[in-house]
Amino acid sequence: MKYASQRVAYWYFTCAMVLFGVQILAGVLAGTVYVLPNVLSELLPFNIIRMIHTNALIVWLLMGFFGCAYYLVPEEAERDIESPLLAYVQLGLLMFGALSAVAGYTLGVHEGREFLEQPLWIKVAIVVVALIFLYNVSMTVLKGRRTAVTSVLLLGLWGIALFWLFAFYAPANLSLDKLYWWYIVHLWVEGVWELVMASVLAFLMIKTTGVDREVVEKWLYSIVGLALFSGLLGTGHHYYWIGAPGYWQWVGSVFSALEIAPFFAMVIFAFRMVFKGRKDHPNRAAVLWSLGCTVGAFFGAGVWGFLHTLSFVNYYTHGTQLTAAHGHLAFFGAYVMLNLALITYAMPYLRGKAPYHQGLNILSFWLMTGAMTVMTFALTFAGVIQVHLQRVLGMPYMEVQDQIAPFYWLRLGSGVVVGISAILFLWSVFGPVRERKARPAKVAVQPAE
């Protein structure tokens, strides 16, 4: 840790991991209800469980992004965070809002648009959190060294806050509602979140491979360019069947098919940097998560997205388990793995130790990615069968669901394994570490720039 104020990142990561636990618990529970539908049906209905599963995911990923920003911005800007106190206030407010939301959901206190179920006061609190954060990080960047990493990161974070404002606009006309709802949902995960992802990845590459910053930053701009050129009009793949004009079938198909390009570029970028790099970073687990993240994002967001993005395919696959398969691997590969990569990288510095528990961390990597792969295939097979029975043959929905039940068992099993691997991961980063008389980590891995 070069700057004392980077310490705030430790608490962001800790809170994020608490919500990661909540997310996985709710996920396993939801997976259980799929196969044993009478479980909890009176006490905690499926819609509430799912709400907790998705909301906890989104909030912990954002919390992780905030932590990433607080960790890397001081090193990039070469100065301490403008106000660590504000950073803690921001975290406290966000965590309070998140836990209140979860508690409220179980009592039936929620709004009703998907992913935007937070009560109004929490939505407003999120704006306050965003304003504190943007002030804090922007001031740190503006008064310090400017780099491409921080420019792209800031643009992404400002974009997140800006598009969040559409959460307050809920037109009475359902089609209009959907048109602007995607301004948050799509422009986040297939737009500005990709800017955050690419810049954090670039930071990791600079630090772990020792490749020249000029090279990394040129890649960074190229990747985020590809992301926005394809992703903005790629929103059209959500506009096929909601009452929007027919031309979106062309615009959406063409541009969203190109959304695979930035993810492919990230794979090439990360592997080239690591192979080109002049040094072997002692934190092998962090390098593995970084590389894995690009591959996971490429398959989950890129390949699985492309599978059902062309309008004439989507006509049959829209809103089936194929969508669920894509959603799970895309969020995991792109954003969960990115956060776990930076956490794995940063924790030894934040705790003032040489990289530790590498074997356990690497084991959790393979277990978690393996289980998520099985889950994705289970849902994909379920989806293909569903498409044929329901969309082609016209068999009623519930009958089709009975036909694909074995795949839901497989999904539950893989979800349990994800839970186990998450425990291993948490132990590998937060678990006790015996003091060794080695050189302090700081000297061992000085970045080569």
Task: Give the footprint of another protein on this chain (CB under 8 A).
Answer: 34, 37-38, 41-42, 45-48, 50-51, 110-114, 117, 148, 172-176, 178-179, 214, 217-219, 221-222, 224-225, 228-229, 232-233, 235-236, 239-249, 251, 315-316, 318-321, 323-324, 390-392, 394-398, 400-401
How many whole angstroms separate alpha carbon 125 and alpha carbon 294?
33
Q: Which is nearer to another protein, 51 or 354 (CB)?
A: 51
Q: What is the 3-class SS of 203-226, one letter each residue?
A: HHHHHHHCCCHHHHHHHHHHHHHH
Q: How far is the CB of 442 from another protein (least distance, A)?
A: 29
From CA 415, how far away is CA 432, in angstroms rounded? 27
Q: Which is nearer to another protein, 273 or 441 (CB)?
A: 273
For residue 311, the minimal CB distance to another protein (Å) is 9
Using a 10 angstrom Cβ sphere, with 0-12 exposed, 13-18 middle and 19 or more buried, the burial of residue 173 is exposed
DSSP 258-318: TTHHHHHHHHHHHHHHHHH-SS--S-HHHHHHHHHHHHHHIIIIIIHHHHTTSHHHHHHHT
Under 8 Å between Cβ of 118 and 126: yes
| Residue keyed to tokens 């039940």 | 405
Residue 160 C-beta: closest distance to another protein, Å: 15
Rounded Cα–Cα distance for residues 9 and 67 (Å): 4
- The least CB distance from residue 363 to another protein, in Å, is 33
Nearer to another protein (CB atom), residue 188 or residue 239? 239
Biggest alpha carbon distance in the chain? 68
Instruction: Name the residue nearer to another protein (CB basis): 95 or 379.
Output: 379
Q: Which is nearer to another protein, 78 or 214 (CB)?
A: 214
Nearest alpha-carbon partner for 47 in 132, 108, 100? 108
Please say which residue, 159 or 292, places its beta carbon nearer to another protein.
159
CB of 260 to another protein, least distance (A): 17
C-beta of residue 305 within 8 angstroms of C-beta of residue 260: yes
CB of 275 or CB of 436, closer to another protein: 275
At its nearest, how many Å lie between another protein and the CB of residue 165? 14
260-276 vs 193-209: helix axis angle to the nearest 10?
10
Q: Which CB, 17 or 205, lies closer to another protein? A: 205
For another protein, give the closer residue by CB, 82 or 194: 194
Q: Of 245 and 432, which has the nearer Cβ to another protein?
A: 245
Minimum distance between the CB of residue 348 and another protein, rounded to whole angstroms? 30
CB 320 → another protein: shortest distance, Å? Answer: 7
* Contact predicate 179/242, CB 8 Å: yes
Cβ atoms < 10 Å from Cβ of 340: 29
Task: Give the DSSP per-residue string, 87-123.
Answer: HHHHHHHHHHHHHHHHHHHHTT----STT--S-HHHH
Report the Cα–Cα distance between both ends of the chain, in Å, rounded.
16
Q: What tokens were used for 99?
A: 């836990």
Query: CB of 22: closest distance to another protein in angstroms?
Result: 16
Q: Nearest distance from residue 49's CB to another protein, in Å?
A: 8
